[in-house]
Structure 1
Amino acid sequence: MFWITKIAATTLGETGGDAVSMSWLGETTPGATGLGYLIGTAIFAVVFALAVWAQIRAKRFHPFLYWFAIIASTTVGTTLADYVTRSLGIGYTGGSGLLLAMVLASLWLWHRTLGTVSVDSVGDPKSEAFYWLTIMCSQTLGTALGDWVADTAGLGYTGGMLIFGGLLAVVAALYFWTKTSRTPLFWAAFILTRPLGAVLGDFLDKPVARGGLELSRYSASLALLAFIAAGILLFPQRAAARAH
């Protein structure tokens, strides 16, 4: 249920981020200047920073607070990736390479500072700060990577869903049937759910002529938000069995 909710949250990040930068701030209009992505990034960055601050300050696990921080990370990731790849003009290939370097740099710095990047070690403000920084970078990478597969590679939204869904199935198989270290498998799954959500979100709200369903970004976002809330309420989540 965690991973289903994560995919829904990343899909919401795509439709929600696009609703603000494209629909509200007009980045899909003829007079768009590219500033809409930057303004959207600034808005969501503030929300993300506040969400992470509240999450780190919390004395116990709060499911709605945790998922709010996840959603905030994926919305800022959407607008930031669009700003990097479109407004800065480096394209999906260059943007994916740059953002992959950011993810790897975050993991490297985390490991060099604390000796591990395992989520089981996240139990103090410093490790949690690295955790959320890495999450934000991975969410940003996922948006650019999803766009690269769907548009640059020409596989479309359906092809992107099949590719990233298939890669997640491989990660699941390695988890259940091999003794591969759980740490890289967790981060592989965490990163892959973002481009899957990106292409799924684009499939929902992009024009029919481009292979989408052309649903309202606002309606799709509200439906996804309701689904996430229902999942949290119907399948209660709990803190770890032991303190990390």
Structure 2
Amino acid sequence: MTYIAQPDVDRASRRFLSKVPEVTVFFWIIKILATTVGETFADFLNVTAGLGLTLTTAVMSVLLTIVLLLQFRAVRYLPALYWLVVVLISIVGTLITDNLVDNLGVPLEVTTVVFAVLLGATFAVWYAAEKTLSIHTIDTPRREAFYWLAILFTFALGTAAGDLAAEALGLGYAVAAAIFAALIAAVWTAHRFIGLGAVVAFWIAYVLTRPLGASLGDLLAQPHDEGGFNFGTVVTSLVFLLTILTVVVYLSVSKRDQPALGTRTIRVRTRSW
């Protein structure tokens, strides 16, 4: 007798959620705030608190590893957990670049190029494996691993590029911030009116918000004789952290940035015997 195995409807079509929030204005607000915190809080721990680059990097890397493990274990997007990872990875990305430049003496020009190459290689391997770089499809552990690795390199690259523009090239923090803001506006214009792809536009803007946030952080925190407003790393970090917390609480309650629910079809092979 021949039997045909009937596919299980519940298994053949399942619901899934991306582990990444919808890209709204709140996404970019928190992203820029987080990049600023990454710059100022890293400086606070390193200089003001006296931990030094090596110890600060070790402590923050351990914290990032723990929170990343929690993020990977989560089955859906959780605003508080996701943005905590972003803040920590912003700090660690900043510290990686600072260690290379300050401890090892690697020029900013070299670190900028190296991290640009590493980010490009990450995108190439990611696309080869998944055939997409869209953040709306971060719904498997492998895609999430590619995503966070790319995020780490964007922060390290952005730190190097921002310091290169503001310090090595002597533009100053305000001018550097204005330049990166103008570049982000140009990317938006190209996407909105010229047809630049959404995925490409997103990742270019994501990289550029890092040096923008870092330049703003330095502009607020650094003393007057270095071109800053002299608010200090403590005040600047606290203000931005509290602002991030406020927006994250709002998003947790309002669900304004919850990823869209989609359906993925799983092929089930029928058998006869």
Q: Which amino acid aligns with 2:42?
A: G
Please show how residues 150-161 of structure 1 align to structure 2 within 5 Å: 150-161=166-177
Q: Which amino acid aligns with 1:109?
A: V
The answer on 1:181 being equivalent to 2:181 is no
Question: Equivalents in 2 of 1:22, 1:80: separation in Å?
Answer: 16
Whether the aligned pair in 1 keeps the contact of 2:223 and 2:230 (CA below 8 Å) is yes
Stretches of structure 2 that go unaligned for 5 or more consecutive residues are 1-25, 265-273
Q: Which amino acid aligns with 2:261?
A: R
Please show how residues 186-225 of structure 1 align to structure 2 within 5 Å: 186-225=202-241
Whether the aligned pair in 2 keeps the contact of 1:15 and 1:217 (CA below 8 Å) is yes
Match of 1:73 among 50, 69, 89: 89
**Aligned equivalent of 2:27:** 2
**Aligned equivalent of 2:258:** 239
Whether the aligned pair in 1 keeps the contact of 2:222 and 2:232 (CA below 8 Å) is no
Q: Which amino acid aligns with 2:170?
A: G
Question: Equivalents in 2 of 1:131, 1:10: separation in Å?
Answer: 17
CA offset at residue 40 of structure 1? 1.7
Q: Secondary structure at the match of 2:225?
A: helix
* Greater relative CO, 1 or 2 (CA 8 Å, sep 6+): 2
**Aligned equivalent of 1:149:** 165
**Aligned equivalent of 2:66:** 50
Stretches of structure 1 that go unaligned for 5 or more consecutive residues are 27-35
The answer on 1:13 being equivalent to 2:21 is no
Whether the aligned pair in 2 keeps the contact of 1:38 and 1:80 (CA below 8 Å) is no
Question: Equivalents in 2 of 1:102, 1:140: separation in Å?
Answer: 10
Please show how residues 121-160 of structure 1 align to structure 2 within 5 Å: 121-160=137-176
Q: Which amino acid aligns with 1:242?
A: L
Q: Which amino acid aligns with 1:17?
A: A
The answer on 1:22 being equivalent to 2:47 is yes
CA offset at residue 39 of structure 1? 2.1
Whether the aligned pair in 2 keeps the contact of 1:61 and 1:238 (CA below 8 Å) is no
| TM-score, structure 2 as length reference | 0.82
Whether the aligned pair in 2 keeps the contact of 1:37 and 1:80 (CA below 8 Å) is no
Whether the aligned pair in 2 keeps the contact of 1:85 and 1:94 (CA below 8 Å) is no
- Relative to structure 2, which stretch is displaced further, 227-236 or 92-101? 227-236
Question: Equivalents in 2 of 1:51, 1:186: separation in Å?
Answer: 25
Match of 1:85 among 84, 101, 121: 101
Q: Which amino acid aligns with 1:123?
A: D
Match of 1:114 among 115, 122, 130: 130
- The structure whose Rg is larger is 2
- What RMSD over aligned residues (CA atoms) do the two structures have, in Å? 1.5
Whether the aligned pair in 2 keeps the contact of 1:80 and 1:140 (CA below 8 Å) is yes
Question: Equivalents in 1 of 2:151, 2:54: separation in Å?
Answer: 20
Whether the aligned pair in 1 keeps the contact of 2:220 and 2:228 (CA below 8 Å) is yes
Question: Equivalents in 1 of 2:185, 2:257: separation in Å?
Answer: 25
Structure (1 or 2) with the greater helix fraction: 1
CA offset at residue 10 of structure 1? 0.4
Question: Equivalents in 2 of 1:111, 1:85: separation in Å?
Answer: 31
**Structure 1, residues 19-57: CA drift from partner, whole Å, max 9, x if none?**
11122236xxxxxxxxx2222222221122222211121
Q: Which amino acid aligns with 1:13?
A: G
Using the aligned pairs only, state the percent identity.
Answer: 34
| TM-score, structure 1 as length reference | 0.91
